[in-house]
Chain A
C-alpha cells in the first residue's frame, strides 16, 4: 500500500514539469487570447484593454459565419476522403509480403517529412498551367492545351488530403496489423465473399479507429490555413485563413482572437458530437 502511494507521489513529481510547461505556455497564452478577444481595436494603430463585444458581434453578423460552415464542411469532407482512401490502402498494406509492405510504409511516412509550405507550393506548380501535370497530358496527346487546375476547391481538397493521408495510415496501421486473419477467413467459410467480409467484419471491427482517424484529419484540416491560401480562391478559404489574415495583415488582433476562440470551441464541439454518436451507435449494436 505504501509502495503504491510512494509510486503515485513519484508519478506526480514527474508530471509536474510537463504540467507546468503546459500551464505557462498554453493556458496562460490561451487566457490572454480570451481577454484580447474583448479588447478594443484602435483603427490605424494596435489595440487597448477594454471589455466590448464588438469583435464577437462582427463575427456573428458578417460573412464569417458562412466561412465557418464552409470550413467545417471542407474539413469533414477531407476527413471522409482521406479515410476512404487510407483504410483500404492500409488494409492491403498490412496483408502484403514483408518487403513491399515496409517499402510502401516508409514511402508514405516520408511524406510526413515535407512541411505544409513545401506541399502547398509543389501542388501550386503541379496544378498550374505553365509547368503542371496538364503539360504531360498535352505531350501525351490526351489534351489539346495545358490548363490550370488551381486555384480551385478541388485543389484545396487534394492538398488537404495529401497532407492528411499519412496521418490516417499511421492511425489505422496498428489496429489493422493486429486484425486476426482467421477472423476474415471465418467470415468466408460462413459464406461471405471477400467484399462482404470487408464490409461486415473488417470495417465494423475497425470502426472506433476509423472514427479516431477521421477526427484527427478533421481537427487537423480545420486548423490548416496554408493549403487553402495557396491552392484556393478567397471563396475556398477556411476560417483559419481569415484569422491569420486579420492578425497579420489587418493588425486586428482582438477580432482574430475572437475568431480563433470560436474555431477552437467549435472543433471541440464537433469532436464531442461525433464521439457521442459513436458511443450511442455502439451501444445499440
Chain B
C-alpha cells in the first residue's frame, strides 16, 4: 500500500463566538494508520474532525493532506469518506442506493456501480441485502452500510465520528474488532473520534488525547496508558491513583515515606500516577521505600477482578486491583501495607 493519506494539522484554531472549541492543534498523522481522537465530550475532538472533513472552517491554521493545503477546499472536493454519529443514511434510498450514491454523483456507469456495491456489501458482510430499505435494518447493519458508503470511493481519508455510539455494548465491541480488521485490510488512513478509552485502545495505532480544545498527549495506546503525560490523561485513560508528594533531589516523599519513581522530578510539588493493578497488597513488614501503611476500607471481588480500597491517610483511598486467585487475604478494617513498585510510579506532574 503506497503511503497516501498523510495528514498534517498546523495551528488549527476554531472559535464559535466567545467559545474556543479548538485552541491551536499541531499534529502530524502518519498515512495508513488508525488514529483516534480521545477525550471527554466538549473537548473539541469532533470539531477537529469536522475541520479535517471541511464541514467546519478553521478560524486559523492549516490542514495539509499529502503535503497539499486543503484548508480552503469544500468538503465535496476533498476525497474523504466519513461515518457520522447519527450515521446520516439517506432514508429515501435503498441500501445499494446509499452505498452507490457517491459513485452516481461522480457519474460512474450503472454497471460499474452495481459491481462495486456488491463488492462493498461483501466487505461489510451484508451480501444480498442491497434492496433493503434503511428502515428495515438493525443498528449494526446500518452501521455497516454507513461504513460501506464512506469507503465506496476509496477515499484518501476515512473519518469516523463516534461511529459506534448508537449500539449496545456487545455489538459495539464486536464492530470495534470488525472495523479495525477492515481498516488494516484496506490500509486506509483513518481518524476516529471517541470518548471511550476502551474503544480507542482496541482500535488505534495512535491515540491523541484531548481536553479543553488542546492535545494533552499523542502516543501508542499502551504507551499512553503506561506513561501518561499529565494527571488528566492518567485519570481519563483507565483508572489510576494520583498520589501527591514533595520532590527533592530526584526522589519523592509521599505521606512522609520515600519513593523511587519513574520519570524526572523537577518541581517541589509532584503528582505520581499508580495504576490499581500495578500496586500490591502485603500483610508483612513496611519496607523502607515505595510503600504505605493503611487500613482496608472496602473489598470488591467481581470474580474476574478484585479491588481493595485502602485508606493510607492521603484523603482519597488508594485502589489496589488484581486477579482474585492471587488475592492477599485481607478483610475490611484490617491493617495492610500497599506496595508501589518503582516502575509503577509514573510522574505526571513535576
Residues 49-84 of B, flagged 1 when their CB comes within 8 A of A and 0 if not, give 000011100000000000000000011111011101
Chain A residues with CB under 8 A of B102: 190-192
C-alpha spacing A188/B152, complex, angstroms? 14
A201 sits at the interface (CB 8 A): yes
Most chain B CB atoms below 10 A, which of A186, A200, A207: A186
Contact A189 B75 (CB under 8 A): yes
Q: How far is the CB of A181 from chain B (nearest CB, A)?
A: 9
Q: Would you list which residues of chain B between 79 and 106 have a CB under 8 Å from chain A?
A: 80-82, 84-86, 88-93, 101-102, 105-106
With A188-B76, A191-B76, A193-B74 as given contacts, are A182 and B106 in contact (CB-CB < 8 Å)? Answer: no
Chain B: minimal CB distance from A178 (Å): 11
Taking the complex as formed, is B149 at the interface, i.e. its CB lies under 8 A from any CB of chain A?
yes
Q: Restricting to A189-221, which residues have a CB under 8 Å from any CB of B?
A: 189-194, 196, 200-201, 204-205, 207
CB-based contact B81/A189 at 8 Å:
yes
Q: Once the chains are docked, how many angstroms separate the CA of A198 from the CA of B22?
A: 30
Q: Quick check: B55 and A187 within 8 Å, CB to CB?
A: no
**B208 near A: Cβ within 8 Å?**
no
Asked if residues B74 and A183 are in contact (CB atoms below 8 Å), the reply is no
CA distance in complex: A82, B102 (Å): 32
Interface centre among B85, B92, B102, B152 (most CB of A within 10 A): B92
Determine which of B85, B91, B149 lies in contact with A190 in the assembled complex, contact meaning CB atoms within 8 Å. Answer: B149
Q: How far is the CA of A180 from the CA of B82 in the complex (A)?
A: 15
Identify A182's interface contact among B74, B85, B92, B150, CB under 8 A.
Answer: B85
In the complex, A1 has a CB within 8 A of chain B: no
**Chain B residues with a Cβ closer than 8 Å to the other chain, count:** 29
Whether B105 and A191, one on each chain, are in contact in the complex, defined by CB atoms closer than 8 angstroms, is yes
Complex alpha-carbon distance, A77 and B44, angstroms? 49
Contact, CB under 8 Å: A188 / B92: no
CB distance from B274 to the nearest CB of A (A): 42
**Docked pose: A281 CA to B90 CA in angstroms:** 17
B90 pairs with A189, CB closer than 8 A? no
A-side interface residues, number (CB < 8 Å) = 20
Q: How far is the CA of A180 from the CA of B53 in the complex (A)?
A: 18
How far apart sit A201 and B81, CA to CA, in the bound complex (Å)? Answer: 17
A186 touches B82 (CB 8 A): yes
Looking at the complex, which one of B74, B85, B106, B159 makes contact with A188 (CB distance below 8 Å)? B74
1/0 contact string of A240-277 vs chain B (CB within 8 Å) = 00000000000000000000000000000000000000
Rounded to whole angstroms, the CA-CA distance of A201 and B89 in the bound complex is 10
Find out whether the CB atom of A189 lies under 8 angstroms from the CB atom of B150. Answer: yes
B153 at the interface (CB under 8 A from A): yes
Q: A21: CB under 8 A from chain B?
A: no
Chain A residues with CB under 8 A of B90: 183, 186-187, 201, 204-205
Residues of B within 8 A of A186 (CB): 82, 84, 88-90, 149
Contacts of B85 in A (CB 8 A): 182
CA–CA, A191 and B153, complex, Å: 9
Residue of B nearest to A285 (CB): B92
A251 to chain B, nearest CB (A): 53
Q: How far is the CA of A194 from the CA of B102 in the complex (A)?
A: 14
Q: Are B74 and A191 in contact (CB under 8 A)?
A: no
CA distance A192 to B80 in the complex (A): 12
Which residue of the partner chain, among A185, A189, A194, A205, contacts B91 with CB atoms under 8 Å?
A: A205
Tell me if A190 and B105 are in contact (CB < 8 A). Answer: yes
Within 8 A of A (CB), among B230-264: none
Residue of A with least CB distance to B91 = A205
The distance from the CB of B130 to the nearest CB of chain A, in whole angstroms, is 15
**B residues in contact with A182, CB < 8 Å:** 84-86, 88
Q: Are B75 and A188 in contact (CB under 8 A)?
A: yes
A200-B86 CB under 8 A given contacts A185-B75, A188-B76, A193-B76 = no
A2 to nearest B CB, angstroms?
35
Q: Pick the 6 closest A-B CB pairs, nearest first.
A: A190-B102, A182-B88, A186-B88, A188-B75, A182-B84, A189-B82
* A contact set with B: CB distance below 8 Å: 180, 182-183, 185-194, 196, 200-201, 204-205, 207, 285
Please report B residues at the A interface, Cβ cutoff 8 Å.
Answer: 53-55, 74-78, 80-82, 84-86, 88-93, 101-102, 105-106, 149-150, 152-153, 159
Assuming A189-B53, A189-B159, A201-B90, what are 4 further A-B pairs, CB within 8 angstroms? A186-B149, A188-B74, A189-B81, A190-B76
